[in-house]
Structure formats: structure tokens, C-alpha cells
Structure 1
Amino acid sequence: MVLQHVTITETRPEGLGNQALRLEPTGGELQPFEAGAHVDVHLPNGLVRQYSIASAPHRRDHYLLCVKHEAQSRGGSQYVCEALQVGTELRISAPRNLFPLHAGETQVLVGAGIGLTPLLAMAESLECDGRPFVLHHYSRAREQVPFLERLLRGFSHGRVYLHHSRDGASPRQHIPREISAPPPGGQLYLCGPEAFMQRFGELALEHGWAAASVHREAFGGTLAEPPAEGDEAFEVLLASSGRLIRVEADRSIAAALLEAGVDVPLSCEMGICGACTVEVLEGTPEHRDSVLSEQERTGHMTLCCSRSRSARLTLNL
């Protein structure tokens, strides 16, 4: 994986508990990206984390990220919010998009908390293209909304609605009009905690949205399932070399391969980025990721978290 060097040129709070970072290229140009994309950020402390790009895709001079300071941080958000400062150099991957915009007459963007980040890039892209959209954002209170100033400026081609639980508009009770009355040719995008996306995804289907028109991004709500009681060891056969590698009950496939000297492209190690996806030639995977669609799971699996229902898996490695 080729990494690009960038420099933090600005840090600022964006809503209570969130920190925005402006990244500019240390040399050369930033790679183009489409709305909904994210980058892998290689932090100076050795961690790698995925953050959605919030800036407008037509702006090539910088990427804008926004990170929530999680109370139960695994080290990433705490380090970003407390240690990184203007002038710090970082290495980032090329943008990858697992949450792209689709063709549709009306784009409906619904997010909660820091889930606004990729939706803001979508809004900027749609605004630039002159395409109509509606953006609903949920937070506990106004002061927690990321990029509030930008949202309040509004858009020529989109409508923005801010909902605050403290004012009685909790996502547990409130339903956006566009979800209860699907617009013709609409596409729905959900980003936020898993329970939030689950609720609105189910509501959309109940109100007549087609499943293919409902898109979700897990930005930290659903992580890979840990080894569970009852997990059993199995074998992995590498098709290119014929090597047979045993995966113990308490080890991931990725860990077993790395220990055997096999190079594995790892990034999040939580089943949310898709970097370690590989083709399965024989055997039955047990999927534990939250990134692959049901269609993508036919013949593929993630190595960082998924396991095997069969005694052996043959992988295209």
C-alpha cells in the first residue's frame, strides 16, 4: 500500500467533543476522492484508524476529517484529539469508498452525531452538481452538532433539518418526512451509531423504501465480533503455494497468516474497512465483518475477523 505524507495545518473543535483536522499534502497533490470516502490514517503512535472525509470532493488542496473523542477509546480518538497538533506529519492511504452516492432523483441524507462527516461531503458534492437533496441530522443538543456553521449557511440545492433530543426530537421517536413518505427515485443514506442506522433502516423498509435504495455506513458502531466460546480451530489452504496453515480457536486468520510469514493487507482489524478482503475458492466462511454486503460475501471474506464453518478454507492467496 502506497502512503501519502500530509501535514496537519489546522485543528479546531467542531461540536462538543469533536476535533476537526485539516490535512494538506506535504509534497505533490492529494488524490481525488468521491463523497462518502474515507482514508486510513497511520498515527505516530503506531495505530491505524479510518476516518471519513468531510470536505467537498472538488477541493483538492486539503482533506477535512472530524473525530469524536470517545470515552471508551481504543487509543485512536484519544490520541487524535489530545496529541495531534498543527505541524504534525501523518501518513494516509489513498481514499477508499464503501459508501458512495448513487443515481437518484432525490438524495436523502440522515445522520447522527459524528455520522455527519461523510454526509457533509455528499451534501457538498450534490450542491456542486446542482442535484437536490435533504439532510437530517440528530444530536442531543445544538452545541454538539459538527460543522454547525456550515450547515446554518445552507445550500442552494438542499434542505437541512437539525433535530435535538433535548428539544424533544429524539431519533427514537422522530421520523423524517422523507422516510415515512419516500420521494420518487429517492436514495437514502444512513450514518451514525448502529442502533440509529438499524432503526431508520427498518423504518424505511416498513414505509416502502426498496432495500437497494437504503445505504448505511458503520463508522464505529458495529465492530468485528471477538473470538467466542465454542469457536474451533480450522485450516487455511493457500491456493498459490499449497501451504496449509492452522488457525487456532483464539486466533484470527490474519494473525495466523502473519505469524506464518504471509503478507496480509491489514488496516482497521475490526471488520469495518474491507482492506483484508480475499476471495474464497473452497469452504464455507463464517462472516463477522460489518463491511461486506450479502452479495460481496458470496465468494469473499475478511481475514481480520471472520472464521470458517468448514474444516478447511481455500483462499486465493
Structure 2
Amino acid sequence: MPAMELIVSAIRINGDNNLDIELICPKGNDLPPFAPGAHIDVRTPSGQIRQYSLCGSPMERRVYRICVRRDVRSQGGSLSLHTDLRVRAQVTVSEPRNLFKLPNARRYLLFSAGIGITPIITMARWLVSNGSHVEWSHYEGCRSSVAFLDEVSSGTLKNVTTLYLSDEGASFRKSVPANLLQPAPDTAIIACGPEGFLTLLEKRMAEAGWSPTQLYSERFRAAPAGALSNTGKDEFVVQLASSGQCFTVGAEDTIAQVLMENGVPVALSCEQGMCGACLTRVLEGVPDHRDVVLSAAEREACNQMAICCSRSKSPRLVLDI
């Protein structure tokens, strides 16, 4: 995906440990369009590439807005943005990519936790402006940590948003919204947050009788250790549909690694199965999905896979490369 050199036009605090960053084209030109749920790859001051949801308005074509939470476990990405980024600095970003698109539904239940608010708030604004039925539950540790607090507590989203604060005894484990206990076939559940939050949401949905295909989610962190392991007990063969070339993927290899070692170009970004940059069509064979990008329905279809981490359940995969 093409890279762009943008300029930091503004930096603001947006709740405890949250940095609101605005990026513009140096010449003031319009930026590539995006839809709610889209993200961009950002090369941080530390040199690492990280993915951040676009949380501004898709109608504002000259500004990209992201909100970055300082993570105490950061390996340099969010930390370097918080400590080293300055207004007027040049930042390399990708064009927007959207693997978290809003589905068509009569009713939308939105769930977010922590900095998972960033894609959800863009969706909420969009849905409200289009007259959709929206109910949004946002979970946070305390009020001072809530990003976009004014907007969700007293602004245009107030009537569709309920805040649940752990320091007030309203964690997701203790406070389950009534709407989650009443499954409906014409409802889409949209969620973003930490792995534990989403795992518990999936459990609550199953207990209440929701179909897993009604959940559309995005994780900002990879699944627990092992879930995204790119290793396996068996080797398998990957064949390229365009040339017929075949390559063996060993137990300690990834498909992407093997292809690149053999001169086959591969689009990579996070290399953890989280961003979707390497999603590739599968023409034959059964993928062993190890990513956190594809939905349950997309996994069942077996027609695409994240080649940076996923493997194969069949002896051979034919990829649309």
C-alpha cells in the first residue's frame, strides 16, 4: 500500500494517557478517503510501524485524526509517539485500510473498552447521522481516562451512549447491558477492545443465544500466546496460482517468510495477524487461521487468510498470487 509523508498539525491530550494527533498533507491537499472502521499504518519516531484507527470524520478530507493511548507495556510504538512526536514533525503513514467495516443491519449494538473507543466513536457518529438505531456501551477504568469524554457524555452521542466505569463498580464482568441478554436476528454487534474484553463478550453472547456471525470485532492486541503462533507440527506446500510454483512451508516458517525468501513480493505490516495487510485469497485448501482480523463467518468461508501467521490444515494451499 502506498506510503504518504504527512505533517503533524496538532497534538492534544484526550483523557489520561491518551494523545490526540492530527495529520495533514504538507501542501494542504485532500487526503485519500476512508470509511468508519478504517485504520492507517504509522511509522513511529522509534521506527516501528503501528496501526491506529482513524477517529475523525470521514467527511473531513484534509485531516487524519488518531488517538494513541500510552501503553505501559509498549515496545516503543505508543511510547515514542507520546514522548518524541512534535507539532510540524513529518510522519510516514499508509493510505487507509478497512477490515472493520460496518455491516448492514436494522439495529446496532456497539461495545468498546479503553482505547477501543477510537473506531467505535467514528461508527457511532456515522450511524447516528444516518438515523440508524444505535446503542453504545463503553467500558473504562475511570472517567478521567475516557477519550472523547465530552462528546459521549454531553455531546451529540449522549443519548445513545452508556459509560461503565470500573472504579464505580461497573466493569463488564459485573455490568452486562440488558440489550446483550435479548438476542435479535436483525442486530449487528460491533466491538473493539482488549482481548479479555472481547473474549468475555463472545462468552456473554453465546450464553444469551446470539449467533457468533452477528459479532464484528477488532482487537488492538494479538490474541493470547499460542493463539497466533505461526509454528505447527507439520510442513505443507503453498502453490502460486499465477505461476504454478510450489514452496514448502516448514514447521518453524511462515508462508510470508518462505515467499519472500524466494523472491515473491508480499504486503506485510504488523506481522502478527492483526492488521490485515497480508490477507490473501485462497483458491484451494483449508487454512488454519491464526489471525485476529477475520470474523467467524470469514474464517468458515476459507477463501482468504493472513499469510504472516496462519498455516494450513490441508497438505497444499493454492494462493491467488
TM-score w.r.t. structure 1 length? 0.90
CA distance in 2, matches of 1:219, 1:39: 13
Q: Does 1:96 align with 2:97?
A: yes
CA distance in 2, matches of 1:105, 1:206: 23
Partner of 1:20: 20
CA RMSD across the alignment? 2.3
Partner of 1:225: 228
SS at match of 2:150: helix
- Is contact 2:213-2:295 (8 Å) kept? no
**Which residue identity is paired with 2:100?**
F
Structure 1 unaligned spans of 5+: none
CA deviations on 1:91-111 (whole Å, 9 max, x unpaired) are: 222222222223333322111
**Which residue identity is paired with 1:237?**
Q
Partner of 2:244: 242
Aligned residues: 316
Which stretch shifts more, 108-117 or 157-166?
A: 157-166
- Is contact 1:133-1:158 (8 Å) kept? no
- Is contact 1:130-1:157 (8 Å) kept? no
Q: Does 1:60 align with 2:61?
A: yes
- Is contact 2:281-2:320 (8 Å) kept? yes
Partner of 2:79: 78
Deviation at 1:184, TM superposition (A): 8.0
Deviation at 1:29, TM superposition (A): 0.8
Deviation at 1:157, TM superposition (A): 8.1
- Is contact 2:230-2:310 (8 Å) kept? no
Instruction: Summarize the Cα distance change of 1:44–1:261 in structure 2 as closer, same or farther, 3 Å threshold.
Output: farther
Which stretch shifts more, 117-126 or 307-316?
A: 307-316
Partner of 2:8: 8
Deviation at 1:74, TM superposition (A): 3.0
CA deviations on 1:8-64 (whole Å, 9 max, x unpaired) are: 111122222222211122232112211111112233544222111111222223121
Deviation at 1:141, TM superposition (A): 1.0
Percentage identity across paired residues of the two chains: 39
SS at match of 2:139: strand
Q: Does 1:168 align with 2:169?
A: yes
CA distance in 1, matches of 2:158, 2:279: 37
CA distance in 1, matches of 2:283, 2:194: 34
CA deviations on 1:246-297 (whole Å, 9 max, x unpaired) are: 3232221111211221100112211122221222333333221111234434
Q: What does 1:128-139 correspond to in 2, within 5 Å? A: 128-139=129-140
Q: Does 1:285 align with 2:287?
A: yes
Partner of 2:126: 125
- Is contact 1:132-1:157 (8 Å) kept? no
CA distance in 2, matches of 1:221, 1:17: 21
CA distance in 1, matches of 2:129, 2:253: 47
Deviation at 1:240, TM superposition (A): 2.1
Instruction: Summarize the Cα distance change of 1:151–1:265 in structure 2 as closer, same or farther, 3 Å threshold.
Output: same
Q: Pick from 300, 306, 311: which aligns with 1:302?
A: 306
Q: What does 1:165-244 correspond to in 2, within 5 Å? A: 165-182=166-183, 185-222=186-223, 225-228=228-231, 231-244=233-246
CA distance in 1, matches of 2:174, 2:126: 30
Which stretch shifts more, 203-212 or 103-112?
A: 203-212
CA distance in 2, matches of 1:269, 1:171: 30
CA deviations on 1:130-157 (whole Å, 9 max, x unpaired) are: 3342221111111111111222232268
Partner of 1:153: 154
- Is contact 2:164-2:171 (8 Å) kept? yes
Deviation at 1:238, TM superposition (A): 2.2
- Is contact 2:216-2:295 (8 Å) kept? no
CA deviations on 1:119-138 (whole Å, 9 max, x unpaired) are: 11012212322334222111
**Which residue identity is paired with 1:293?**
S
Partner of 1:315: 319
**Which residue identity is paired with 2:282?**
V
Deviation at 1:214, TM superposition (A): 2.4
Instruction: Summarize the Cα distance change of 1:159–1:68 in structure 2 as closer, same or farther, 3 Å threshold.
Output: same
